[in-house]
Amino acid sequence: MQAQLRDPKTIMKLSRLGSFHQSKLSFLRSFLKEFKDWKYNNDLFDLDENGYGRAVYSFSKENKTYSLICFANKINPNERSDRVIATKWDAAFVLHDGVPSKKDIERLEQNVPKQEVGRLSYKELTLSRANKSVRVFDHVVESLSNGNQPDKEFLSKIGYLYRTTAVYGSGKFGLADRFRIKNREEICGPFRLEMMLVYLVRQFTFDQVNHIAKHKNSKKFVPLDKEISRNLGIGNSTGLGMAPFIVNHPTLLNNWILARENALKKVREIKNIKKEDFETFINCLKKSIKNITSWNTESEFQKKKIKQLMIDLNKLLVFIEDFNFQSDYGFNKLYLWVEENLDLECSEYVVSMMFEPYDSIIDPLIKKMSSEEEKFFNIPGERTVQDLRNILEEKYSGILKLDFEKKENNENFWFISKNKEEPRLANRYNEKGSELEQPLAIARDIKRLYERISNQKNSLNIGKFLIENNDLRHVVRRAFIIEKFPYSEIQDNIIGSNLIPIDMLRLKLSFFGAIKFDPRSDKWLRICMFQGAPLPNELKNFNDYWVYN
């Protein structure tokens, strides 16, 4: 039996993409697998009794080393802000390519704590900063310094000691451009160095909290229990800055989604499911419910989604009690039932779970999740208007039905904020600046393009068509990209009044491997990364199902 890849027009709707969950394809999981054989070391730990100072952590193998350099600073409580406009943080971090010299560390100490207004060099790979969750951090210090372990229940509600507010890479603020490092085998997956930074930051937070507690009361002090440490991750506050990324990198988006779709297709095509494989699936599914019941959010929107997810998972658990996985194409039958009977949130949850038993399917796909985007940048000027029309009608049929004369379909515009050079969304009719709109209104501009070619000769070359139509050049380019990359385009209108921007964030964060999405509005959310992950000195023999422990 050959399963079909799912239709991009269905999968690329934001309601579906905003229901994606972490999976074996997620970048933080593939990062851990890639680096499990690397030597981990804490090369420097020079903090004062209050936990301020410098530390260096590294992964090395053969002649390669990646070093995280941490700078922990004192800030006043009123200076602590998770917003991107903040200028001070509890700690700042940079991932350095190689072993940093004393001179490097001194240079970085002058720049890394300043973040966006500092300057890095091609020897640095990723940059970040983080703030303490003060109530958790203080509670842990207090407990350990009094010889007690912290309250697990309290910790599980938050899930981390620190949360990052941005992680930068690829040429930002002087960091190495991707072309300098893209051929390194160990970082072939997307965002691998960003994942390394966050993972090592997590270890720093444990070492720092232990260090402070020990200095507070060395006689009574007990170190943070390893099991408790494992169940702490790193938080992250994520806003709209991340949303345009998936529009601005169409071939990369395609490769992420295509990997997921290919994985599902291959799992559905398995005729005889081995007993141990469906047991792995069921175990992961059952264990994962703990992640849902400990998923805390104040967001009514997310609470509803979680509630529906739990209802659906219970339905699924009842269904699989009598389900015969050993009938032919068991996962295909299960998938068809899920699509028919459960909501999107649960449907995509189960899809992620189906990947769990199958390293042999997933591992080769992970290697295909990067993209050489510039290879597909040129517009094929020799193609014809007929070709373009065919692409638009085939690939954007839902978009072409939208009426942009209606106010609600044209309500918002994306712009770059002057204050912080970050993407933002505003109401076109209430706010100034729509004339400086970013080229992200893809649905509207595709519709305009379709209308524009309606009175053009089919035989006209695109090169000649563009002479008078360069205002739509950005979407002509995209049309020829989607022809080759069917999952490259969101099949929704991202300037409409019904847009829920956090759907765009969730899509990206699910590929990162984030869990416990906690929307704080429709425009930003908090997440947790690496919660449950092995500690760096446990990587050699870790259980890949740690997400569900």
Partner 1 sequence: MKTLSEIDTTSKRATKAVGFSWGIAEEVGKNMKLLELFGLSGIKNLNKYLQDYKKKQFEKITLINEINESKKNPFCPIILGTNFIDQVNLMDKKKNIKIHNLAFPVLFLPFVSRASEVIGKRIFLKLDDKEFLFNLNQSIYSNYLKNEILENSRSISIDFIENTNSFSEAEWNEIYKLSEDTFVEESDSLKMGAAGAGLTDND
Would you tell me which residues interact with partner 1 (CB under 8 A)?
121-122, 170-172, 174-179, 374, 377-379, 381-382, 416, 438-439, 461-464, 466-467, 470-477
147/381 with CB nearer partner 1: 381
Residue 100 to residue 44: CA distance in whole angstroms: 11
- The answer to whether 66 touches 60, Cβ cutoff 8 Å, is yes
- The answer to whether 128 touches 92, Cβ cutoff 8 Å, is yes
82-111: burial string, b at 16+ Cβ within 10 Å, e else: bebebebbbbbbbbbbeebeeebbebbeeb
94/282 with CB nearer partner 1: 94
98/223 with CB nearer partner 1: 98
- Shortest reach from residue 182's CB to partner 1, in Å: 12
- Shortest reach from residue 118's CB to partner 1, in Å: 14
Residues present in the chain in total: 549
- Shortest reach from residue 59's CB to partner 1, in Å: 24
- Shortest reach from residue 95's CB to partner 1, in Å: 16
427/470 with CB nearer partner 1: 470
- Shortest reach from residue 379's CB to partner 1, in Å: 7
Bridge partners, 97 (sequence order): 66
168/517 with CB nearer partner 1: 168
- Shortest reach from residue 495's CB to partner 1, in Å: 15
- Shortest reach from residue 497's CB to partner 1, in Å: 23
Residue 331 to residue 266: CA distance in whole angstroms: 10
Burial of 462 (0-12, 13-18, 19+ CB in 10 A): buried
Say how many Å lie between the first and final Cα of the chain, rounded.
35
As given in the structure block, the two tokens for residue 177 are: 């451009």
- Shortest reach from residue 199's CB to partner 1, in Å: 24
Residue 164 to residue 233: CA distance in whole angstroms: 11
DSSP 181: T
200/472 with CB nearer partner 1: 472
437/522 with CB nearer partner 1: 437
Q: Which long-range contacts (C-beta less than 8 Å, at least 24 apart) are formed by 112-120? A: 112/69, 112/71, 113/71, 113/73, 113/88, 113/89, 114/87, 115/87, 115/89, 115/166, 115/173, 116/173, 116/420, 117/87, 118/173, 119/173, 119/174, 120/94, 120/173, 120/174, 120/175
Which element (helix H / strand E) includes 547?
Answer: none
170/390 with CB nearer partner 1: 170
Q: Which amino acid is at 324?
A: N
170/283 with CB nearer partner 1: 170
- Shortest reach from residue 403's CB to partner 1, in Å: 23
Residue 366 to residue 381: CA distance in whole angstroms: 33
Residue 201 to residue 321: CA distance in whole angstroms: 42
Residue 318 to residue 304: CA distance in whole angstroms: 21
Residue 290 to residue 313: CA distance in whole angstroms: 12
Residue 320 to residue 25: CA distance in whole angstroms: 24
As given in the structure block, the two tokens for residue 283 are: 């175990």
Burial of 303 (0-12, 13-18, 19+ CB in 10 A): middle
Q: How many CB atoms lie within 10 A of CB 323?
A: 16
- Shortest reach from residue 489's CB to partner 1, in Å: 16
400/416 with CB nearer partner 1: 416
344/442 with CB nearer partner 1: 442
175/425 with CB nearer partner 1: 175
- Shortest reach from residue 481's CB to partner 1, in Å: 12
CA-based torsion, 74, 78, 79, 80: positive or negative = positive
168/530 with CB nearer partner 1: 168
- Shortest reach from residue 380's CB to partner 1, in Å: 8
What residues have CB less than 8 Å from 183, skipping those under 6 apart?
Answer: none
- Shortest reach from residue 191's CB to partner 1, in Å: 15
